Every structure is written in structure tokens, then in C-alpha cells.
């Protein structure tokens, strides 16, 4: 999910005027996803292709991922909203880590 989400909600491809808060609580439609497919996920992660296929099918059934044109997969708004608390927690952790490194 992390790999698909990073390719879908990629900050580098968000509109310039989009704030971080809009980005994490917004909609997939405002961010141009980068293409990724089953084989790319397997290659990048080192996870066997068949395992990736099974996990993607579970995410599709849950409504967190959709398969589109050319077999590319994209995270959905449902995944974005379901994982919003975890995203907030991760951002807080990274901000605390940054502060510690700058003042440490």
C-alpha cells in the first residue's frame, strides 16, 4: 500500500497551490498519479510477483486501490481517508525527528 500510495499521492505532482493539509486530506483527482503496476511493485519491493498480486487483490476488494488503464494501480480517496490518522502520526514523528536533528 505504501508503494502504491506514494505513486498516487506524490507531492511532486500536486498542484503548486495545494497546501500540505489539502494534500493529505484532499482527493486523488487533484493529484496526477505516477504509473505503477504489479511487476513494478514486485521489482521495487523485492516481494514475489504472486504475493504482490494477492495483496493488490485484497486492497482492490477493500476499495483502497483501483486497477486502471494498462494494468496501472492507483490508491483511492477511501484509502487516503482511512489512513489519514496514520499519515498525521507519521508527519508528527518526522517533524519531531527533524527538530531533534537540527537542535541535537
Average pLDDT over residues 5-31: 70
One DSSP character per residue, 1-59 reads -HHHHHHHS-GGGS-TT--HHHHHHS-GGGS-PPP--HHHHHHHH---HHHHHHHHHHH
The angle, 0 to 180 degrees and rounded to 10, between the axes of the packed helices 38-45 and 49-62 is: 120
- Show the CA angle centred on residue 69, arms to residues 64 and 75, nearest 5°: 20
The string of pLDDT tens digits covering residues 35-69 is 899 999 999 999 999 999 999 999 999 999 999 88
CATH number, domain 2-103: 1.10.10
pTM of the model: 0.72
Domain residue limits, the chain: 2-103
- Whether residue 8 is predicted with pLDDT greater than 80 in this model: the reply is no
Helix (H, G, I), strand (E, B) or coil at 79: helix
- Show the CA angle centred on residue 87, arms to residues 73 and 54, nearest 5°: 35
Tell me how far apart the alpha carbons of residues 58 and 50 are, in angstroms, rounded to a whole number. 13
Amino acid at each position: 500500500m505504501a508503494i502504491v500510495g506514494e505513486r498516487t499521492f506524490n507531492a511532486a505532482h500536486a498542484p503548486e497551490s495545494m497546501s500540505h493539509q489539502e494534500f493529505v486530506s484532499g482527493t486523488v483527482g487533484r493529484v496526477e498519479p505516477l504509473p505503477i503496476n504489479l511487476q513494478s511493485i514486485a521489482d521495487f519491493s523485492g516481494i514475489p510477483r504472486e504475493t504482490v498480486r494477492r495483496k493488490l487483490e485484497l486492497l482492490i476488494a477493500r476499495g483502497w486501490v483501483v486497477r486502471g488503464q494498462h494494468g496501472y494501480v492507483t490508491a483511492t480517496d477511501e484509502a487516503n481517508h482511512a489512513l489519514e490518522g496514520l499519515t498525521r502520526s507519521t508527519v508528527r514523528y518526522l517533524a519531531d525527528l527533524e527538530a531533534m536533528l537540527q537542535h541535537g
